[in-house]
Structure 1
Amino acid sequence: MIANKYNIDIINIPSKGIELKINNPQDILNLENKIKEKIYRDNYSVENRRVYIIKQLYLTNNDLTLDYLSEEYLVSKTSIYNDIKVINKVIEGYGSKIVSNISGIELIGNEINIQRSLIELIFHYSDKVSYSSSINKAQLVFFDKNIVNSIYEELFLENKSLIENLPDYYIQSFLTLVFTLCSRVKIDRHIGDDFKYVTPNFNNYDSETVKTFVDFLIDELDLNLKAKDIAYLKKQIYAHRLVDKPINDKSDNNFIVNKFIGRISKIEGVDFSNNEELVKAMSYHISAMVERLKLGIHIQNPLLKSLRKEYKTLFSIIWYSANILEDYFKIKMNDDEVALILIYFQIQIEASNKANNILIVCQYGISCAQLIYNKVKGFLPEKDNLLIRTLDELSNSDLSDVDFIISSINLDYLNLDIPYVFVNPVINNDDYIKIISEYTKIFSKRYQIRKNEKNNEDVSAIEIDDLISLETIFLRKEFKNKEELIEYVGNSLNKNKFVDYSYLKSIFTREAIGITALEYGVALPHASSKTVNRTHIAICTLSHPIDWDGIPTSLVIFMNFEDDEVENIRYIVDKIYKKINSKEKVDKLVGCKKPEELIEEIRSI
């Protein structure tokens, strides 16, 4: 114990408490000062203690023991065991693990998995350590400042063509990966011989800028990068789209991309297949996405929550269609990647409207406005007219033809009738969310009206209540968790030949890589269409809510579609969402006591 170092004994007195036995009054003052010093440094918070453990295990060759951590942090060994358990939970599924044995606390796993798990931990803890509220600050918490600052300077000043026009979430993911690789190399930890995956013809894309960046790491940071480290880094450069190339030229690959686009076209009732801009963008994006998923790179998409909420139906449609890509490329999609694809389609949907006039305003002058322009032109439709104005010019401009303003200064004082969004001069993740949300809110109305008219004309005779039967309704059930519920419903559906034997495996895989819970206590789990024998909807209500992705859930709806039910998907999904878009509607469904009552309630949509 730390008290022993100051010649202080802690004595337990039954029925009274504890007593500090001291020989010299100065000893107690020294102990008090030591404790205050540690508290003032804020190193003793639970989150900061866990960050320290992570840094010691991943970024140093220091020996680490339970005794040392217990004494250093004034906590029991049980608390340290719990820290390890919590950290391991975060990195579960990443192929590495922290173990405590007679030799001490160790990190096990191959080098690629160790680096992947560290990146996941950094993103997980970026907003949890008390003095760090962003990934940029978290990078400085975890990594050597010289490595961080030098690489930032190289990429943002000296070799900026590598990251120009890239969304911030790609850049931050790549930076965190490079910091991780460099920091591990610093302690002589290198990518192993088990890294054998090679992109066909990748060397053809080994540009001078890539070579310059690799040379910088070797020469300026004095890193002993080995051949496998460099090969791994180049793969990451491609996977993060710092170097772009379309999908492999194999005709089968191009066919799959076109098949994916065609599937969404058929469901949406909008022909995307002849849109050369979208086909080309999808070819580049899917090519890099496949590399990311095969390498285990998880892009943290800051738009995910907003996109999933704003575009529930399109999000579900892309997830449903993604099984085409999953089956062909042998990958597992996740919510973040689905949301990235959604952006491309939503932008093209909006692009079907007339060109919009968008004004970019910055109080710091044209140069500042140009920075914003360079960022937003990459994700807004090409048809839109982007105009740049200074604040002074704005006051004297005719704004009658302006549809939307992106400004780095608050314009409320001007009382404009034109919608605008207030952003930082250097566009960050929050700004992406603001711009896309406001843009789509303003410009998607015309498309929505036209789409609804088309859907009303083209929809088949199928109705939701045709897809529900007594065999697919489970009312007022009791389950301990979502796994128990899914297994019960899945087995019942399989028994009645609605789904095949692989249905449960498919649905559990989907649950492991994304969130299927919605607001108002509803969950919408789904599986691959290949596991569905007959299109149907299964509904389960609960007597008591269970935890589902952190949300107390009482209503679970399984929308299971066969492959040939493409035309009906949007219609059915739209109808379901209309029935669960408020707490009152959800409560009505949960309150049904008989299957017939629930079917009648569904029929009223």
Structure 2
Amino acid sequence: DRRPDPLRLRRIGLDFTGDTLLRQTLNWYHRSSALRCRYGIELENPFLEDVKKTYPAVFSACFAAGSVIYPRVTGEELSENEVSYLSLLIGGAIVRSEKKISAVVICNGGVGTSQILARKLRDRLPQLMILGIFGSEQVREAARLRPQLVITTVSGIQTPCPSVLISPVLGERDLKLLNRACAEVYTKAETCRNGLAGLLDEDLIVLDYQGRDKDQVLRFMAEGLEQKGYVTEQFLEDVMARESRGSTALGFGVAIPHGVSGYVNRPAVSVVRLEESMDWAGEPVSLIFMLALNFKDIESTRAFFNGFYHLTCEVKIVELLRGVTSPGELIRVISENCV
């Protein structure tokens, strides 16, 4: 029997039988791992120790199961590096199971047909959280729910987020399209989460700052970025010029002042939470993110801003940020909610 001990898997509470994406990535892993073994290639994982600390139970279970299976299949002993890559795949599945992708369904059929389709989607794609079912004339209503994905049987509709056109019968081709779309959503979320977390510097996060006015706050934040070497002295002037062209307030008490990439040495995000709200070109603002970015490609930029705008435009998340008591806690809240 080449399957891992199901009792051991139950002991750590993992059930991924419905995770098609995990099955696909495991198939890829097994093929590449077998090739590495055949040609004697040891692929070192620089994050080995981090994986052990982050997913200790998963690492142990994978090592125990793999130590039995791997020699039978390859004739070689399983290394910790191989286990760590396998654990990362399982870890990704854990994240997906904890953070579902919010989606809306837009159909041009009757209520019964729409409900059946939604039921099929829930059964076949457990990573989805269906927020609602709408008719083709209700696209705006659906958009108000701020889904991460639109699943539709109607061609030609314009949606504010990624959409997938499927058949009402939900065939295998449709499932492949949906799994691919889900993978892209997860990838963009990870890009945002990892990218934003990496851009936050605890020294540049100031809570309950007593600012006099907008210009003084902008100067304070830009000077902090300059002192740490993230930007040049021209950055402040550019930020001020950008503010003069139009407000950078997003609503919900959040503002995102920023300058051009030409004055950015290294990308960073400075954060100030004001003790009291202040006027920001006609809007009350209490949470300010100064963006000093210089992404080299448009995909990274798009992924960052998609996630960042979701983060700063969700009332619940903004309230969490207003309630943090330390820079470290603010980074944790952002890392956990940038999806």
Does 1 or 2 have the higher relative contact order (CA < 8 Å, sep 6+)? 2
Whose radius of gyration is greater, 1 or 2? 1
TM bracket, shorter-chain basis:
0.3 to 0.5
What's the TM-score, normalizing by structure 2?
A: 0.45
What's the TM-score, normalizing by structure 1?
A: 0.26
Task: Looking at secondary structure, tell me which structure has more strand per residue.
Answer: 2
